[in-house]
Amino acid sequence: MHHRPRRRARRIALVRIPASNLAEGELTHLDRQQIDQAKADEQWDNYCAALVAEGWETVEVDAAPDLADSVFVEDAVVMFGDLAVLASPGAASRRPEVDAVERAVRAVPGVSVARIQEPGTLDGGDVLKVGSTVYVGASSRTNAEGIRQLRELLTPNGFIVVAVPVTRALHLKSTVTALPDGTVIGHPDLVDEPGLFPRFLAVPEREGVAVVELGDQTLLMSAAAPRTAAMLAGFGYRVVTVDISEFEKLEGCVTCLSVRVR
């Protein structure tokens, strides 16, 4: 009798190559700084390589050379199991990003698609999943109608949608993300209401709030947060760091540059 070796399901992450006018990306809370495009491209290559090294297959959304913020693909779609919820970007310059992201998720077998409709706005960076709880930032990008539509879509699927005020940074996930065990980590200067999270841990660096779970015990983090990386390594996690300085100058973080589809 022949046994097929059991293979782990393919893990797929969407990414999108930086636009040629990346330096013109939106800024809300930071002053504009010089962007080194060649360095940004190299950092993006290294970011993708880090995903691949951890067993992820990267799928590129069609390039949008003139959509400055298109590299921040996380803002255009949020996955809830096999359901892809396409966002409705709160910045007018970012609305044209979504159609190509829709084509990319539709090409993944088994994925079903819903879309937040105007006048609802919602940026993917405002959505943090922790088990069956979905925290959604009420931010300058995500409005009440966007939150209402998300709640309407997700409540029948067993999720609880919890709205969170976000006034001190661009997106909810610029202020908090979650460890694999569900502990929410954030920087005290950025989080409006830490008491909303059942388990909240303050981290010492602003760039340290963003972690991407690459495996049960592996976290991807920004190289700009060494003290936070050391703290999380001390909890037994394997921490992989990437330098994303050029994207951080544009209010991006390690989460924004990919979407784990499955």
Binding interface with ligand CIR (CB under 6 A)? 25-26, 28, 69, 72, 74-75, 91, 94, 125, 170-171, 173-174, 250-253, 256
Select 94 or 232, whichever has its Cβ closest to ligand CIR: 94
Catalytic member of 48, 187, 253, 256: 256
How near is the Cβ of 260 to ligand CIR at its closest, in Å? Answer: 14
* d(C-alpha 126, C-alpha 141), whole Å: 8
Supply 153's token pair. Answer: 């879509």
Catalytic member of 48, 171, 187, 253: 171
* d(C-alpha 21, C-alpha 192), whole Å: 33
Residue nearest to ligand CIR (CB): 125
Can you tell me which residue has the tokens 């947060």?
A: 225
Select 24 or 102, whichever has its Cβ closest to ligand CIR: 24
Task: Let me know if 2 is a catalytic residue.
Answer: no
* d(C-alpha 113, C-alpha 80), whole Å: 10
How many CA atoms does the CB half-sphere of 13 hold within 13 Å?
26
How near is the Cβ of 2 to ligand CIR at its closest, in Å? Answer: 47
* d(C-alpha 154, C-alpha 80), whole Å: 9
How near is the Cβ of 115 to ligand CIR at its closest, in Å? Answer: 18
Can you tell me which residue has the tokens 């059991």?
A: 6
CA distances (Å), origin 5, targets 2, 8, 56, 137:
9, 10, 19, 43
Select 19 or 229, whichever has its Cβ closest to ligand CIR: 19
Task: Let me know if 171 is a catalytic residue.
Answer: yes
Phi, psi dihedrals of residue 43, rounded to the nearest 5°: -65, -35
User: Active-site residues: which are they?
Assistant: 171, 256
